Amino acid sequence: MSETMLFSPFQVGDLKLDNRIVIAPMCQYSAADGCMTDWHLLHYGQLALSGAGLLTIEATAVAPEGRITYADVGLYSDANEVAMARVLDSVRQWSPIPVAIQLAHAGRKASCDLPWKGGAQIPPESPQGWRTVAPSSLAVAADDAAPTALSREEMTRIRGDFVAAARRAARLGLDAVQLHGAHGYLLHQFLSPLSNRRDDEYGGPLENRMRFPLEVFDAVREAFPAGRSVTMRVSGTDWIEGGWSIEETVVFARALEQRGCGAIHVSSGGLLPAQIPLGPGYQVALARVVKAAVGIPVVAVGLITEFDHAEDILKAGDADLIALARAMLYNPRWPWHAAAHFGAHVRAPNQYLRSQPHHLKFLFD
């Protein structure tokens, strides 16, 4: 077997991963009233057989109004929990892959149509729309309905929604929770000065803007079993002058580390339209800065599609784990092909063992 970092084992808290490949959360917009459907059986079933080290369930709303679209997955009701248990039971019957979940609240980016229908915000008076909430009454786009600025009581309720969802995740036996603090959703809206114009203790200086996301983290960390990790996904920058910056991300990451955060997943953007320098690994530099500042595992993500590129990121010390999203949708066997490329081995189901190429005698465990 070839010596590679990509296929070396790794540990996040008590969770042992076979390799450093993480399947990132990817919204499917295919739920009914927050409940997973047969689509999710197909989707997560194939990803569970990929050989990746960790599978992360898509952004899962902690409240109905926290969904990006009316077809988002939720974990805010007993029905949601039962539907997710059905999918997880099927996955676990055929695959030992660890499964994490991303818990989220879309804030002012909620009440949208499906991406393949344009993705525009649905007005609150429409049957499939609702009034959104945010730190401040500032809409994303000029023609969007302005969100309602959250009161302290409503913030307490939302924090409780995260806790309730985390407890459901624990009952479902999920191996880790990731809080979505990126891509312009509610926790990111509190962090960025472009969306947070509050004049109370939750707005203004960085310490205040971090307060609510950290309160949510602390509450979820207390509610989720101690032996299982709570991690955070962040946007390393808004890519807009005067917005959330990589320097602020470092301060936030250090605060998370002090509170027992298991890992930090560094993405970027999403708060407002911005000129983003898209290209292979365009966010790796952000992960590199965070990695140099903290001692917890750092996950790199963003147009990482080539096997050697993923390996080089790890060897350079820019990140500890590589997250794949669209690359996994396009090629759900990406880890198999990467292992073949490096002369490594990967876990495969018994039913597929005879598909091992003749010249790769030790590809499959």
Three-state DSSP class for 231? strand
DSSP label at residue 359:
T
170 CB-contact burial (10 Å; exposed 0-12 / middle 13-18 / buried 19+) = middle
Kind and range of the H or E element at 265? Answer: strand 264-267
Angle at 216 between CA 215 and CA 220, to 5 degrees: 120
Distance CA 253, CA 129 (A): 34
Kind and range of the H or E element at 170? Answer: helix 152-171
β strands within 155-226, DSSP E = 176-181
> Catalytic pick from 44, 70, 76, 185?
185
Going from the C-alpha of 272 to that of each of 59, 195, 267, 276, the distances in angstroms are 19, 9, 15, 11
Check if 185 is active-site. yes
**Is the Cβ–Cβ distance between 54 and 100 less than 8 Å?**
yes
Give the rounded distance of the alpha carbon of 320 from its chain centre: 16
Distance CA 207, CA 209 (A): 6
Angle between helix 78-94 and 152-171 (nearest 10): 30
Strands 321-324 and 21-23: parallel
DSSP label at residue 65:
G
Write out the catalytic residue numbers.
185
